Amino acid sequence: MNHIVEMVDIRKEFPGVVACDDITFKVKKGEIHALLGENGAGKSTLMNILFGLYQQDSGSIYLRGDKVSITNPNIANDLGIGMVHQHFKLVHNFTVTENIILGLEPTKAFMINTRSAFARISDLSKQYGLNVDPDALISDISVGMQQRVEILKMLYRDAEILIFDEPTAVLTPQEVQEMMKIMRGLIDEGKTIILITHKLREIMAIADRCTVIRWGKVVGTVNTEDTSEEKLAEMMVGRKVLFELNKKEAHPRKEILSIEELSVSGSAGRKGLKNFTLGVRCGEIVGLAGIDGNGQKELVEAIIGLRKADSGRIMLGDEDISTLSIRERIETGLAHIPEDRHKHGLVLDYTVQENMILKTYYREPYSSKGLLDWSFIYEHAENVIRDFDIRAGEGADSLARSLSGGNQQKAIVGREIDSNPDLLIAVQPTRGLDVGAIEYIHQRLLEQRDQGKAVFMISLELDEILDLSDRIAVIYNGELVDIVDADKTDENEIGLMMAGGKRGVAT
């Protein structure tokens, strides 16, 4: 048995949760070992323990057969463990070289010797085919490139065990392909890779073995050759998973949302929106695909009224809403499931019933003559809780904070759909949810469509876009690349467009 990493009976508790419940996890030298589990299953906690960011409550770690105690990331570095975090740890106004050498700067007469570092980084970049410019500023390079800088950072520190935390979440399908090539290159050079992910297809494509974790416990470790996506999903969720949505044919009618030549300036450091034109019809779901930071946020904020448009019109039905206040827009028939449910969706320290009336409290029958009608509000919240299957310990009186992420999201979806909008804007509606909640929310969005309402969905998950949408619009650099029918396209084509390539034009 030549296990390079052995984590035995690792236990880690946080207040109220057991994140790792006596997990035993072993990795062989030279393999790509996937760690699969839903959000909150404990996979990131386990890896943070291995990297020294957390300490286990009990259990032991063996590296190359020796028992080790990893109390901080420096020790992990010295032991040859490197980690690419989901959120990159790069200083935006430093160069690639400066970021890589930070903490290990070679010096000469008190000055940082960038030249020697530069040479070493260029060599490593060449050796592993990473193609990184060591002199570029981090803020000037793409997210995919930044990820390679993170990889270089590990290689510069001579790491042998490389942990990747959800590395493909921020990449286009084409970049994912390249990433896999890079990973194979790393394995060929004798490295070992631990891949944290919830994407089954990637595991099947690249991993040698896979350990599945559910609720802090190991469900099992399997060879990917002997398993299938369905089996892995079942292990991960604990029941059979429907991969097919119950999606009927769409019957789109008249256009309800028309965005005409809309230009919006971005916040500092972000690209805005340029001459964006798009229509969404009643009875269809339009999905907006694109890599994060290409103008989606500006578009959504301009539609719902959080950001002023520089030029162009936004028509909802027959009314130009681009100069209306947010409340007036809501009253015209607009509903919005925000990207960040904690920041913009709920007041976490309010109860569920209070959260249910955030947009309607001033109106009859929720209030009259300036006073809130609490008995009606309570009843209304209980109805929504029942209709949308929201699991809340104390019903309408539960604090929003006490709900699980999935139930918080259901509460928002419930509030928005309950307002009976003509147009529902759903931004990342299933981010960070478990498979059960995702299925449920997807069904509700489809229902909304089937009732003749319009749904405009913005998501970074390409699978979600492809599964749900009737038409797919792709945004790149603040501009609409193209809009295509969902049943006449595939992941590859959308991926190319997400990188800015027009349809049918090779890039």
Beta bridge partners of 193: 32, 162
**Are the C-beta atoms of 59 and 10 separated by less than 8 Å?**
yes
Kindly give, in sequence order, each residue whose CB lies less than 8 Å from that of residue 477, ignoring residues fewer than 6 positions away: 271, 274, 294, 295, 500
CB of 75 to another protein, least distance (A): 10
CB of 443 to another protein, least distance (A): 34
Indicate the residue among 93 and 507 with the shorter CB distance to another protein.
93
C-alpha span between 464 and 429 (Å, rounded)? 10
Roughly how many angstroms between the first and final C-alpha of the chain, as a whole number?
47
CB of 191 to another protein, least distance (A): 19
Indicate the SS3 state at residue 438: helix
Indicate the residue among 71 and 323 with the shorter CB distance to another protein.
71
**Are the C-beta atoms of 101 and 85 separated by less than 8 Å?**
no
Indicate the residue among 97 and 360 with the shorter CB distance to another protein.
97
**Are the C-beta atoms of 233 and 241 separated by less than 8 Å?**
yes
CB of 246 to another protein, least distance (A): 39
CB of 312 to another protein, least distance (A): 23
Kindly give, in sequence order, each residue whose CB lies less than 8 Å from that of residue 278, ignoring residues fewer than 6 positions away: 257, 258, 259, 286, 473, 480, 483
- Contacting residues toward another protein, per CB under 8 A: 53, 73-74, 77, 83, 85, 87, 89-94, 98-99, 101-105, 107, 110-112, 153, 268
Indicate the residue among 90 and 399 with the shorter CB distance to another protein.
90
CB of 51 to another protein, least distance (A): 9
DSSP-H helix ranges across 290-434: 296-304, 326-333, 352-356, 374-387, 405-418
* 3-class SS letters over 70-129: CCCHHHHHHCCEEEECCCCCCCCCCEHHHHHHCCCCCEECCEECHHHHHHHHHHHHHHCC
- 405-418 vs 435-450: helix axis angle to the nearest 10? 10
CB of 120 to another protein, least distance (A): 16
What's at 364, amino acid-wise? E
CB of 107 to another protein, least distance (A): 6
Indicate the residue among 163 and 481 with the shorter CB distance to another protein.
163
Task: Render 242-308 in DSSP notation, one character per residue.
Answer: --S---------SEEEEEEEEEEPPSTTS--EEEEEEEEETT-EEEEE--TTSSHHHHHHHHHTSS-
Indicate the residue among 102 and 205 with the shorter CB distance to another protein.
102
CB of 267 to another protein, least distance (A): 11
Q: Using alpha carbons only, what angle is made at residue 322 by residues 327 and 498, rounded to the nearest 5 degrees? A: 110
CB of 66 to another protein, least distance (A): 22
Kindly give, in sequence order, each residue whose CB lies less than 8 Å from that of residue 334, ignoring residues fewer than 6 positions away: 303, 304, 316, 321, 421, 422, 423, 425
CB of 88 to another protein, least distance (A): 8
Indicate the residue among 54 and 388 with the shorter CB distance to another protein.
54
**Are the C-beta atoms of 302 and 470 separated by less than 8 Å?**
no
Kindly give, in sequence order, each residue whose CB lies less than 8 Å from that of residue 307, ignoring residues fewer than 6 positions away: 264, 298, 301
CB count within 10 Å of CB 83 equals 26
Indicate the residue among 87 and 239 with the shorter CB distance to another protein.
87
Indicate the residue among 94 and 350 with the shorter CB distance to another protein.
94
Backbone angles phi, psi at 215, to 5 degrees: 50, 45
Indicate the residue among 73 and 185 with the shorter CB distance to another protein.
73
CB of 158 to another protein, least distance (A): 14
| Structure tokens given for 332 | 């015209």
**Are the C-beta atoms of 57 and 20 separated by less than 8 Å?**
no
Residue 179, CB half-sphere, CA atoms under 13 Å: how many? Answer: 28
Indicate the residue among 47 and 377 with the shorter CB distance to another protein.
47
Indicate the SS3 state at residue 413: helix
Q: Give, in order, the Cα–Cα distances in Å from 240 to each of 235, 243, 452.
A: 9, 9, 31
Indicate the residue among 92 and 231 with the shorter CB distance to another protein.
92
Indicate the residue among 102 and 245 with the shorter CB distance to another protein.
102
CB of 282 to another protein, least distance (A): 41
